[in-house]
A and B are shown apart, each in its own frame.
Chain A
Amino acid sequence: MAATTVSTASRGAADNAPRAGAEKRRGRGLDKYYPLYFHLPAALFFVILFLVPTLASFYFALTRWTLFDMEFIGLDNFAQFFKEPSLVKGFANTFIYAFVTSGAKVVLGLALAVLLTSQVFGRNYLRSVVFFPVLVSTIGVGVTWKVLLDPQDGLVNRALAVVGIDGPGWLTDPGLALFSVAGVDVWKGVGLATVIYISGIVAIPHEYVEAAKVDGAGAWQIFKNITLPLCRPATVTVIILSLIGGLRSFDLIWTMTRGGPGFSSDVIASVIYKQYQAGFYGLSTAGNVVLFLVIAVIVIPLNMWLNRKGNRS
């Protein structure tokens, strides 16, 4: 523990020194960066696989497109998309899902990270246990949990029955389905948040904790006044990552409920996918443009705000 802390801290200091020298040596303007052709392969991939499809989708969103023929219809697709009955529900669900999973990952991730950086028995084993679900394919997780959460034969409700509780239809109750999926999402994703928090906590210089202990601070005071403020960058990363993940979440919801029962667990991404399934290619592209803009409008200011606060502290 002490050794890691020292090495991370000293590496941070060592990084800064040569970087200042290198900037002086490389000159001004573009010259101070790596040669342009270094970027070429990455730029090629970026342009072909990201920029061209993105720009094309902005155009296709304005057409009625059946794959066989295409008709330019202006903003009709957007008007239609916003009339979509399941869309309002989808938007509300997306935000609920994103905030629930994001919040739970911050709280649980931090709690687990504090636990797993303390002198707990079998620490390394526990760390791998917590991280393990991150490695499993989302589809696999969804299928497995769908079986486990089956109201009649699922392991979860059978276990509850042993202690005399009549378990609900986790995925078939319209009021519960979205939260059940969110719970599985947290189970799967909290390992990543924990790892980010662990690295954040480990990077806090140990001297602060020792000084606080000398002043007579208890465990809670150390956590509140040292750990929590100093791992703010980790919190920012976890919030941003899980919020983006939550806003565009699709795979877990699709494998577990397909947006059902009815439309009760539909999110924006599943509404869009259903348009694509139905063969409404222009309409679903319009939906993707909307989703792209919504995520950008939420995440970019949030990122700037969180980072500014982080820098100030």
Chain B
Amino acid sequence: MSIRKSVAVLAVVTVAGALGFGACGSGAESADGVTELSIYIDSDPSSIALWDPLVESFNSSHEDIRISYETHPSGSEGDNLIKTRLSTGDMNDLFWYNSGSLLKALSPDSMLVDLSDQDWAGKVDDNWVQAASTDNGMYGLPVGASFSFGMIYNKDVYAELGLETPESWDEFMSNNEKIAAAGITPVVQTYSDTWTSQVMVLGDAANVLAADPDWADNYTANKAKYAAEPAFAGFQHLQDIYDAGYLNDDFASATYDDGVRMLAEGAAAHYPMLTSNVSAAIGENYPDADASLGVFAIPAEDAANTTLTIGTPNGMYIPKTTQGEKLEAAYELLDWLATPEACTVMGSAITVGGPFVIDGCELPATATSLVEDMTPYYDADNTGLALEFLSPIKGPSLEQITVQVGSGISTAVEGAALYDQDVEKQAQQLGLEGW
């Protein structure tokens, strides 16, 4: 009996102990005048490849601050971890995270330190300011390069068949017809990785804004819908390429890696994709294919509206829980990250898929030739931010809906209507006015 009693007592003590002390842990004191800073980043190989040299370079040039990073899974698991840590006051000293709608889901006004008074704030691109700000402040420093949502294409195929880069959707489809006739897959889609299915819709955003400059504001205010033109075109185009039979045979089970491989090997001509991802893949796996791959803006119905959709990089954010000397050290780290020196480190660490968004940072020589194709759009001021950087609303089910439309399970009309419902839910959850 006494043994049983003590087992019971032990169990109680263990549980109480686990509950009581589990929450404690972090809180490194600064010893010998060195301030330690911990940064929360995602665990993608390309993120690690970027941060390892940044950490090393910063630590070797600063004696009184030591930075290190901690990783979290990418995607929505990571989003939830970030939110949990912020809301429980358990966030690292700084964190590296998306700009745009995902940032705005973090309640930046109450959770993050306003950085608009920093010296570097005047040097960042206007697009960045828009993607990292609320009405009350600007919350991040861009770390990494911008990118575009474009149509990646194989230049060798184009040269062989004597094709020209299309300006309008009709030109694009007639190119596809010739490509198919030559026995090459016109468009790759990779629905095993569902996120890749969204690019046709998301990459049409700048075209929509060219047709209707107020569209993003109206959309946020519940006055513009995907079921109506001009935004409906994105869904229609997905259906068009499926109906015409221009997709690879294994579109339903192919992965993102398969898509890049088919494009690099010339087995396929087009892949709607982000230049940052393709550049990283070229840098790691297909350096020989670099000269063969180019990018053009996803064509609009009307050639006059064809505009390159771009996205801003991740940013560095400081939670309000970082205070005192840690905050001072964090400011110093941001100052360094805004210098051309840091951009050089970034440029040599990863294969960038677009220009940097801080003044004074030059495009590195190692950038893929994809990026050169983007330059004319920038020079002609023919770029526009993707919708997720202009509006806080992005429906969570878009990738399932675009898979449905893109693989013929539902029509473009049904898909767009379904997405409008999805968007409504998101807006209501965000507590936006007018929904």
Contact B400 A277 (CB under 8 A): no
A44 contacts which of B5, B11, B252, B397 (Cβ < 8 Å)?
B11
With contact pairs A151-B250, A169-B252, A172-B252 given, residues A64 and B11 touching in the complex (Cβ less than 8 Å): no
Q: Name which residue of chain B comes closest to A42, CB basis.
A: B11
B407 contacts which of A38, A151, A261, A278 (Cβ < 8 Å)?
A261
Residues of B within 8 A of A48 (CB): 15, 19
Task: Give the dominant DSSP class at A's interface.
Answer: loop
Q: Give CA–CA (A171, B19) in the complex, Å.
A: 43
B60 at the interface (CB under 8 A from A): no
With contact pairs A169-B253, A278-B76 given, residues A262 and B428 touching in the complex (Cβ less than 8 Å): no
B85-110 interface (Cβ within 8 A of A): 86-87, 105-107, 110
A56-95 interface (Cβ within 8 A of B): 64, 66-69, 71, 80, 83-86
Q: Mark B63-82, 1 if CB is under 8 A from A, else 0.
A: 00000000000001101100
Residues of B within 8 A of A150 (CB): 253
B409 contacts which of A66, A69, A262, A277 (Cβ < 8 Å)?
A262
Contact B11 A68 (CB under 8 A): no
A279 at the interface (CB under 8 A from B): yes
Contact B426 A260 (CB under 8 A): no
A261 contacts which of B8, B19, B404 (Cβ < 8 Å)?
B404
B84 at the interface (CB under 8 A from A): yes
Residues of A within 8 A of B396 (CB): 274-275, 277-278, 280
B1-37 interface (Cβ within 8 A of A): 4-5, 7-8, 11-12, 15, 19
Interface residues contributed by chain B, number (CB under 8 Å) = 45
A142 at the interface (CB under 8 A from B): no
A106-150 interface (Cβ within 8 A of B): 150
B238-271 interface (Cβ within 8 A of A): 249-250, 252-253
A160-188 interface (Cβ within 8 A of B): 169, 171-174
Q: How large is the interface on A (under 10, 10 to 19, 20 to 34, 35 or more residues)?
A: 35 or more
Contact A151 B421 (CB under 8 A): no
Question: Shortest distance in angstroms between A84's beta carbon and chain B's nearest beta carbon?
Answer: 8
A276 at the interface (CB under 8 A from B): yes
B429 at the interface (CB under 8 A from A): yes
A214 at the interface (CB under 8 A from B): no
Contact A262 B431 (CB under 8 A): no
Q: Give CA–CA (A278, B79) in the complex, Å.
A: 9
Residues of B within 8 A of A83 (CB): 421
B403 at the interface (CB under 8 A from A): yes
Question: Shortest distance in angstroms between A46's beta carbon and chain B's nearest beta carbon?
Answer: 11
Q: Mark B396-423, 1 if CB is under 8 A from A, else 0.
A: 1100110110010110000000100110
A45 at the interface (CB under 8 A from B): yes
Q: Give CA–CA (A195, B386) in the complex, Å.
A: 57
Q: Give CA–CA (A296, B425) in the complex, Å.
A: 28
With contact pairs A85-B418, A280-B429 given, residues A41 and B250 touching in the complex (Cβ less than 8 Å): no
B194 contacts which of A69, A260, A279, A280 (Cβ < 8 Å)?
A260
Residues of A within 8 A of B12 (CB): 40-41, 44
Q: A86-B397, A171-B253, A260-B403 are known; give 12 further A-B pairs, CB within 8 A.
A: A41-B7, A67-B86, A68-B87, A69-B110, A80-B425, A84-B425, A86-B400, A150-B253, A169-B253, A174-B409, A277-B80, A278-B426
Could you give 21 example pairs across A and B, Cβ below 8 Å? A37-B5, A40-B12, A48-B15, A48-B19, A85-B421, A151-B250, A151-B253, A152-B249, A152-B253, A172-B191, A172-B253, A260-B400, A261-B403, A261-B404, A262-B403, A274-B396, A277-B76, A278-B76, A279-B105, A280-B396, A283-B429
Residues of A within 8 A of B (CB): 37-38, 40-41, 44-45, 48, 64, 66-69, 71, 80, 83-86, 150-152, 169, 171-174, 258-264, 274-280, 283
